Structure 1
Amino acid sequence: MSTIKACLFDLDGVIVDTAKYHFLAWKRLADELGINFTEDDNEKLKGVSRVRSLEIILELGGKTLSEEDFNSFMTKKNDWYLEYVDQMKEDEILPGVLDFLKALKAEGVKVALGSASKNAMRILNLLNITDYFDAIIDGTSVSAAKPDPEVFLKGAEATGTTPAECVVFEDAEAGVEAAINGGMRVVGIGEEEALGKANIVVPGFANFSVEDLKKALA
């Protein structure tokens, strides 16, 4: 497995499903603004920043906010999201992820997180998996949003590897594009139709091993 020196993981939808908590928090905020917000609408927020997410919700409702109110609602949404997140338990790690991380460590492959979330450390600590990561690049250490490759390039740098030696695991189209833009191979986690640009697409880690990864990218 000499050609794969590091595996870089997105957080939401790859390691854990926090999308439901984001939805609950955005729904609560939309209700307060008098905007109808559905789970289908929530799909439009996948992989985009908090600022852009609120802009999309306001567009859906045909509303505008002052800068002060906009910032206030962003803070409120994050506070509500963290209320939900802080109740997370280790059993919310997605199926097969823990075994996959353990197998990578056993192979001597570097493991890094590459997430836009500013709450990544908090979530990893709640799930008790922080120690599996050699590097954590999150929303506090990057300025450019995916599909810009900054988060993954910093992950490669932090693990002492080159982009060509990295494999990225992503569930969002913007994340897949970020990996490609960074010159990395990428495994899409989810549906083929949304993630078709990835080198391979798998539904999750439940039936996917490090051996499968080696074979797929050989």
Structure 2
Amino acid sequence: MGPLGPARGKRRHRHLLGAGALQNWANSAEDAEKEAQEVDRAEGTAAEDEGCRECAERCQQAAGKVKDALYRNKRSPQNGGGGHHGYLNRMIEQVCGRSGPGTPGWDNHTDELIGAQRELNKQFEPFSGDNPSCDPQEHLSREERQAIDNILNGQRNGWTPETIPWKGPDHPDCQSLPQARESGRMRDYLPIIRPPQGNPGAPLV
């Protein structure tokens, strides 16, 4: 080997070491990038899951407020025996009350029903519109959704404050009023509000 041979060999060796280190660095960088992407995906999935949980909780709370606006019984001990009725309890009191149309009692109760209707409309907002933030089918029964639609959007249908018929406390349909109020279930309100056709107690209007 000539006088420059060893030096060239060392340079070649250093070059090979440098190339290997560069490749190792590139591999490490690539691994780090992949790891970072995996972390980002994991964090994104976790954030999405957390967002879904928060969304579900918000919708559950919204549904609870809707049902309170529908069913609340101000005389129930769990409500402290005060406050306001939900729309349905006000409605059956209007249907089965002693004060008929044209009386001050009827007119006052109609005003209260208008307020209860507004409250229901307000609480139902997350479930309404073209792009609702909550799916009503996931949180409200078909009967509840239909009743809400009748209350908020019906015209001359017997559900809105201005169209509710009067039957009076002695009407056959009104005998189940205490049970409906106690149970707070739609199935117990409907026989009072909309008896099936052929029911001898059904209203003539």
TM-score by length of 2: 0.27
Structure with the higher helix share, 1 or 2: 2
Structure with the higher strand share, 1 or 2: 1
User: Which one has the largest radius of gyration?
Assistant: 2
* RCO comparison, higher one (Cα < 8 Å, 6+): 1
